[in-house]
Amino acid sequence: MSSPGPFASRPPLIALVDRANRVMQADMVREAHRHGFTQVKQAHNAVFSTLGGGGARASDMAARAGITRQSMGEIVRELTSLGILTTAPDPEDRRAKLITYTPAGLELTTAGYQHILDLEAEFTGKFGADQYELVRDALEWVVQLLETNPAQ
User: Which pTM value belongs to this model?
Assistant: 0.83
Q: According to the model, what pLDDT value does residue 62 have?
A: 97
Decide if 6 is inside a domain: no
Decide if 21 is inside a domain: yes
Give the residues across from 90 on adjacent strands.
93
Q: Determine the Cα–Cα distance for residues 79 and 110; give it in Å rounded to an integer.
A: 16
Decide if 134 is inside a domain: yes
Decide if 7 is inside a domain: no
Instruction: Annotate 30-45 with DSSP letters as a single string.
Output: HHHHHTT-TT--GGGH
Decide if 5 is inside a domain: no
For 114, the domain range is: 13-148
User: How many domains does the chain contain in total?
Assistant: 1
Contact 31, 112 (CB under 8 A): yes
**pLDDT tens string 45-96:** 999 999 988 899 999 999 999 999 999 999 999 999 999 999 999 998 888 8
Confidence of residue 21 (pLDDT cuts 50, 70, 90): very high
CATH number at residue 65: 1.10.10.10
Decide if 136 is inside a domain: yes
**pLDDT tens string 123-141:** 999 999 999 999 999 999 9
Residue 5 scores a pLDDT above 90: no
Contact 84, 103 (CB under 8 A): no
Residue 2 scores a pLDDT above 60: no
Decide if 91 is inside a domain: yes
Decide if 99 is inside a domain: yes
